[in-house]
Structure 1
Amino acid sequence: MNNSQNLPLVMLPGFLCDPRLWADVQRDLRIEGAVHLIDFKHCKNLQDMVGQLEKLETPRFHLVGFSMGGYIAKIFATKFPDRVASLTLVAVNVGELSEREQTSRMKLAGMLANVQYKGMNEKEALRFIHSSSADNPHVVQTIVEMSRAYTSEMYIAQMNATLHRQDLSAELAQLAFPVLIVAGNDDHVVRLPTLQRLHELVSRSKMLILENCGHYVPLEKPNELAKAINDFVNSRGA
């Protein structure tokens, strides 16, 4: 029997998200260990974010990260590989942000320093999801409501914390824990070919591509994602 099946599962949200992101996924999880939902909303910097995981009392756990949370997961996993039983990366950017993207984000941060962030509206949320999810008010409203829980200060802190990203692909390829990579086939934030290249580089990884799915995989395809996590965590490979 796989002795890692009863280990906790730790789930990390993405930018402008919080534990509500995982509610639908969590309902379909069939794992023996406890589930910990991390919230980065009040973290001031990258060290605070990684520190949320460092201070967990359990010495070893399965780690799941969505988007920005996946980057935090990669940092922790490469820094503390002995604490990671398995790593699941959901719609995660690979590599560094381009200079253009960094400049754009810094410009936005400058604007938000003078006004109060009020969250996304429904039209903005639709840019990140597949057209088949656009008619699902639960998906759209959850994205909007999570973003509206953020202040300008929270937005800027979270953005600055992950602005200068490192490409940790080579480091991941050298480590022993199994990796699951989950992608939406119509994700306009994280392009599928970049995740396919990561899958090729990390020889021990598995990859799942979800059809008719945009960037917000945990909201758009919660049942499929939960099944993938169940199978992965409960498999002999994890």
Structure 2
Amino acid sequence: MSLPTILWIDLQPILHCINQRLIKILVKNRLIKYWSFQHDLDEACSIATIHELILETMRRENRKYHLIGHGISGTIAHLFANKYPETVHSTILLSVDTAITNQWTSHYLKMRNQFSCSRERILMHLSSCLFREKVSKNNLTMVSLLAKCLDQEYTIGSIASQYILGSIRIASVPTLVINGNDDFVVDRNANQRWVGQFKPGDHYRSIKNGRHFFHYEDPRQTSQIIESFLDMVPET
């Protein structure tokens, strides 16, 4: 029997180092393929365009995947599963809200609009909120990564314009949502928003004391939840 294959969707590959702790654990028992997208700064890009690129991969390889993604990547992956359920076994969403535009980048943009302090100070504060660990050396590294991500990767909206794209509908495929209990981006009420849509076979799990990047700080607990979910998902 072949192992279920996970396709890790990553629209912000500059932050991929944050995913590595979890991936190193999952890859011991699962096959993981990595799909990344780097935004061309001189070219307009839409969610539909990204979906077309993912679909090309699916058709070329002629197989179904379990999709996993964090934040905006998880949101786009789940929207893809809604659109092309025949290509997907399940979706695993990390730090994802039902509100499409509720991302760490959107919180940054709101802060830039509301406060007159420098970009660096805002990112320093934001980094301390996104991670539980507060080590100054690591914090400076994360601030640098977040800044590069804002400058070079795919985001929804800008300082000048905030987009309202509505809410995610639950997909017909099995869905696992894992969020941090202390995430200020995806608040605790996300549980009610998700569960209100769930069908049999869907699951919502919360990581105690977890923040937005909980899978970096608690990779083993996160992997156990994912493994248990995958064991229950039939592959047809």
TM-score (norm 2): 0.74
C-alpha change, 1:107 and 1:144, in structure 2 (3 Å) is: closer
Q: C-alpha distance in 2, partners of 1:124/1:13?
A: 21
| 2:184 is the alignment partner of 1:185 | no
Deviation at 1:145, TM superposition (A): 4.6
Q: How does 1:104-183 map to 2 (within 5 A)?
A: 105=109, 121-130=123-132, 133-135=133-135, 140=139, 143-150=142-149, 152=151, 154-155=152-153, 158-160=155-157, 163-169=163-169, 171-172=170-171, 175=172, 177-183=173-179
Q: How does 1:5-154 map to 2 (within 5 A)?
A: 6-13=3-10, 17-30=14-27, 33-42=30-39, 44-45=44-45, 46-56=47-57, 57-58=60-61, 59-97=63-101, 105=109, 121-130=123-132, 133-135=133-135, 140=139, 143-150=142-149, 152=151, 154=152
SS in 2 for 1:28: helix
- Cα deviations across residues 64-122 of structure 1 (Å, max 9, x unaligned)? 12111111012100011011111111110212548xx979949969xxxxxxx889854
- Cα deviations across residues 12-51 of structure 1 (Å, max 9, x unaligned)? 3466853223110011115655312233332552234323
Q: C-alpha distance in 2, partners of 1:93/1:168?
A: 8
- Structure 1 gaps of 5+ residues are 110-116
Share of identical aligned residues, percent? 16
| 2:203 is the alignment partner of 1:199 | no
C-alpha change, 1:198 and 1:12, in structure 2 (3 Å) is: same
For the 8 Å contact 1:119–1:147, the answer to whether it is kept is no
- Structure 2 gaps of 5+ residues are 114-118
Q: C-alpha distance in 2, partners of 1:53/1:119?
A: 36
Q: Which residue of 1 aligns with 2:116?
A: none
Q: C-alpha distance in 2, partners of 1:48/1:120?
A: 31
Q: C-alpha distance in 2, partners of 1:103/1:215?
A: 12
Deviation at 1:211, TM superposition (A): 0.5
Aligned length: 217
Q: C-alpha distance in 2, partners of 1:28/1:104?
A: 31
Deviation at 1:159, TM superposition (A): 2.6
Q: C-alpha distance in 1, partners of 2:34/2:232?
A: 22
For the 8 Å contact 2:107–2:185, the answer to whether it is kept is no
Q: C-alpha distance in 1, partners of 2:90/2:222?
A: 15
C-alpha change, 1:75 and 1:9, in structure 2 (3 Å) is: same
| 2:196 is the alignment partner of 1:208 | no
Q: C-alpha distance in 1, partners of 2:137/2:107?
A: 33
Q: Compute the RMSD of aligned alpha carbons.
A: 3.6
